[in-house]
Amino acid sequence: MIHTQVRYEYGGDEFVFVQLSEEMSLESNFKGMAITRELKERNLPGIVDICPSNASYMVRIDPEVLHPDELIQVLQEIEQQVAGLDQITISSRLVDVPVLFEDPWTHEAVMRFRDRHQDPGSTDLEYSARVNGYESKEAFIDAITSSPFLVSMIGFVPGLPWCFQMVAREKQIEVPKYVRPRTFTPERTFGFGGAFAVIYPVQGAGGYQMYGIAPAPIYQKEQTLPDFQDSIVFPKQGDIFRYRSVTRDEYDEIRRQVEDGTFVYRKKDFSFTPKEVLEDPDSFSEMVLRRLYHD
């Protein structure tokens, strides 16, 4: 059973931290999204920054303008306003995100760091498929690509999307992180840790299981591609990503488009209600895929 007692805490003089749930769920993330978006729209004097997370959020304030207790009163009011999620509509984007599974670059990193893994005798994909009860890595990949993911937050490093699959709770994929972190993860690695899928925006350390690589960036400081004209970061909280398995030929073609500056993500603006997802996630998933690829 999910613990849903909301907890309000001070973070020094300038921060208010709110924990909506002790564990991640679609309900708690939708509620946090609704609260922080409403707070942003109110444009209260004294609010410096709003940082939504998976099952919590934090607000930075200027305490000389807005007292933390006053902010907490406002947040509790908004919490009651969105309590049932019945009147909430989330403006979002549907995005096709290509992934080359079992690519040579992440595979090399997978094999280099087997001494830091729970099961040195298998690959990350093989291990993850087994602990989730799938008969093969192909069936496991199909489970990842058959239903969309909600971008529940952006963080860890700039642009990294934490993505929670929009399926019934009993179908959630979960995998542990490496026993000891790696010192190297290729740029654009598609990985999984806990119940979250991610794409590493840049090369660096990491501890998530590595399954493949995305041909297109999610972070581009040069902002030369059309999708990055307004921001160096592509993902937005509330986006719905469909991770799609591609061949090496398609991967190479997308890389060519990225390098010559013509690549554009396949995406569509989309609005939905939490009720649609929570009441029938399978039907919602089918509708999302139909809207993204056929409508």
Tokens of 175: 């995998």
Q: Does residue 195 share a domain with residue 69?
A: no
Q: Which of 47-61, 74-88, 138-152, 185-199 has the lowest mean pLDDT?
A: 74-88
Termini Cα distance of the chain:
38
Q: What is the mean pLDDT of the chain?
A: 93
Using the 3D structure, point to which of 69, 84, 99 is the last residue of a domain. 84
pLDDT above 70: residue 3: no
Give the CATH number for residue 24. 3.30.1360.40
**pLDDT band at residue 39, thresholds of 50, 70 and 90?**
very high
The total number of structural domains in the chain stands at: 2
State what percent of residues in the chain have pLDDT above 70: 98
Q: Which of 52-56, 120-124, 139-143, 256-260 has the lowest mean pLDDT?
A: 52-56
Q: Is residue 1 part of a domain?
A: no
Q: Does residue 135 share a domain with residue 279?
A: yes
Instruction: Look up the pTM and report it.
Output: 0.91
| pLDDT on residue 2 | 46
DSSP lists the bridge partners of residue 60 as 15, 49
| pLDDT on residue 23 | 85
Using the 3D structure, point to which of 84, 116, 151 is the last residue of a domain. 84
Q: What's the average model confidence in pLDDT over 229-234?
A: 95
Parent domain of 54 = 7-84
Pairing of strands 90-101, 56-61: unpaired
Give the CATH number for residue 250. 2.40.100.10
Using the 3D structure, point to which of 84, 117, 144 is the last residue of a domain. 84
Pairing of strands 240-245, 90-101: parallel
Of 84 and 194, which is predicted with more confidence?
A: 194
| pLDDT on residue 199 | 97
